[in-house]
Amino acid sequence: MSLPGSALPVQGPATTPPPLPRLASAYRTLEHGLDMAFGAAANPLKHLGALGFMLLWLLVASGSILYIVLDTSAAGAYQSIAALADVPWMLGTALRGVHRYAADAFVVVMGMHILREWLLGRYRHWRRAIWWTGVPLVGLAFVSAVGGFWLNWDRLGQYSVVATADWLDALPILGASLARNFLGDVSLSDRLFTLFIFIHIGMPLLMVFGLWFHIQRIALAKVFPPRPLAWGTFLTLLLLALLLPVHSQGPADLRSQPTALALDWWLLFIHPLVDATSPTTVWVLLGLAFALLALPPLWPGRAREAVAVVYPEHCSGCSRCFDDCPYSAITMVPHPNAKPGMRLAQVNSDLCASCGICAGSCPSSTPFRSAEQLVTGIDMPQWPVNDLRTQLIQSLHAMPGPERFVVFGCAQGIHSQLQAPDVLHFKLVCAGALPPSFVEYALRHGADGVLINGCREGGCEYRLGQRWTAQRLTGEREPHLRRSVPQDRWQVAWTDSGDEHRLAAALDDMRQRSRTATQSVSEESH
């Protein structure tokens, strides 16, 4: 049976499906499990980028204090760090431990962030520059982390310095041995130790600069996780610092070779890898790893969708699309009509995600306008608001009944539960592309109930679509759904793949509420 709603043009995401569907599905299952345990707001897997920023700020703050107490000379560095263990109430131990474990956590979170974005296929088209600007940050993070061990100048720091110098000696561009020229004496020079300080402090500064490039195309980028997650992360690091204190491993001595060292495998894994293979092999592996890391945006995939189009004669310059765009693809420029103070939205095609959230935010997207051809201020050419209005009316009138339910669903979600004779399913690129007034419009033209279906909280394919949709429907954001629309006639269901039962339950609940309301009206009429 062909449903009226099934003839609608289906607009998929601008990205391709994840490269490994099974792994992506397994990841989503894990993410949903943490949703149940902690809630979406405190689910660490949904805030990996913000967690990484928080850990970086924590490293900068704790590192600044450590730098104050550090004797910045090769002879005094070890004693100044070792003296932290004697600070009352274990404050020095806590400070040193939090700094070390935050560095470990930063590397783990960074790796998980890369893995998540790759599994979900978020690296093409408008995300390409975001992905590529993140690749160098991986190298900067490890260089800074390894340099931190050198400043302690204990036996582990000595091992790392010598191993790094031997590894660098394998590069043909170096004409002399670093280990022989700089580490040949029985003691380390203060000049070389100053270089260590520069490396450990300079790399984070470059990271902050690189992170600006990494997120400058993202609107409202989160640089700090929700408070429950932030406090939970900090307290976990503090507990680790107190239960598993970080200790120095004896003062460095260049006259002997360190043995039986306790390695930090998260940060110093490259040294044992060199010992197990060869410096040249590790250079080749490292180059291959970074090449593979940079390749995903170049993999072949589906063609990019058409970007948003602005219609100047219908744009009022209200800036709502500018405020709501998840990727800063819209700027406001002087209107071509030259009226003082009048502005016009302008779309940067390189940044546009083709999500349609801007069309859902435009005040002229309301279907109640009397114009025969509904032209809005900003719209998606492949799925214009006028087509949505026309096909909604035609489908409702063609549907025999007795019950008619409309589902405005995100194309990224699940659709198997929506193939029912009493359901009209309209797939949108993103739930945020739906102007809220369409809910009231559908009810006025014969729908018994309206269900808005989108991604789970914190899991929107386009970052802000679910959030903006929820706020528009509850009146927290413009354009909003009018309060006069009966709340028992519409509802939302935020679902991902694997939530088929939740979507089915939402549909059943909507049917039951409609029948109850109809029965109440019938009883009152008698």
Is the domain of 257 the same as that of 311?
A: no
Question: Domain with 137 in it: what CATH number?
Answer: 1.20.810.10
Average pLDDT score over residue span 44-51:
95
Is the domain of 187 the same as that of 327?
A: no
- Predicted TM-score (pTM) of this structure: 0.88
Is the domain of 43 the same as that of 175?
A: yes
For CA atoms 443, 5, 361, 377, the dihedral sign is negative
Point out the domain boundary residue: 246, 271, 298: 298
Is the domain of 236 the same as that of 361?
A: no
Average pLDDT score over residue span 64-86:
91
Is the domain of 355 the same as that of 340?
A: yes
Residue 175 has pLDDT above 80, yes or no: no
Asked if residues 71 and 77 have their Cβ atoms less than 8 Å apart, the reply is yes
390 within some domain = yes
286 within some domain = yes
Q: Is 73 helix (H, G, I), strand (E, B) or coil?
A: coil
Is the domain of 408 the same as that of 519?
A: yes
DSSP for 434-467, written as a single string? S-THHHHHHHHTT-SEEEEEEPPTT--TTSSHHH
What span, in angstroms and rounded, lies between the C-alpha atoms of 99 and 105?
10
Residue 314: predicted pLDDT: 92
Asked if residues 18 and 121 have their Cβ atoms less than 8 Å apart, the reply is yes
19 within some domain = no
Asked if residues 475 and 469 have their Cβ atoms less than 8 Å apart, the reply is no
418 within some domain = yes
Quote the mean pLDDT of the chain. 88
What would the pLDDT profile of 187-222 be if each residue is shown by its tens digit?
677 788 888 899 999 999 999 999 999 999 999 998
Is the domain of 133 the same as that of 52?
A: yes
Is the domain of 45 the same as that of 62?
A: yes
Residue 109: predicted pLDDT: 97
Domain count, the chain: 2
**375 token code pair:** 């032209």
What would the pLDDT profile of 450-499 be if each residue is shown by its tens digit?
999 999 998 899 999 999 999 999 999 999 999 999 988 999 999 988 88
Is the domain of 192 the same as that of 327?
A: no
20 within some domain = no
Is the domain of 213 the same as that of 312?
A: no
β-partners of residue 493 are 453
Is the domain of 354 the same as that of 436?
A: yes
Average pLDDT score over residue span 162-184:
71
Residue 496: predicted pLDDT: 87
What would the pLDDT profile of 275-334 be if each residue is shown by its tens digit?
999 999 999 999 999 999 999 999 887 788 899 999 999 999 999 999 999 999 999 999
Number of separate helices (H) and strands (E) present in the chain: 18, 8
DSSP one-letter code for 303: P
User: Taking Cα atoms as reference points, which of 85, 232, 250 lies closest to residue 152?
Assistant: 250
Is the domain of 62 the same as that of 146?
A: yes
271 within some domain = no
Which residue do the tokens 């949904």 mark? 46
What span, in angstroms and rounded, lies between the C-alpha atoms of 300 and 289?
20
Domain that holds residue 96: 39-261+280-298
Asked if residues 361 and 479 have their Cβ atoms less than 8 Å apart, the reply is yes
153 within some domain = yes
Q: How far is CA 185 from CA 158, 251, 326, in A?
A: 13, 16, 56
Chain-centroid distance of CA 479 in Å reads: 26
32 within some domain = no
Where residue 11 falls among pLDDT bands split at 50, 70, 90?
A: very low
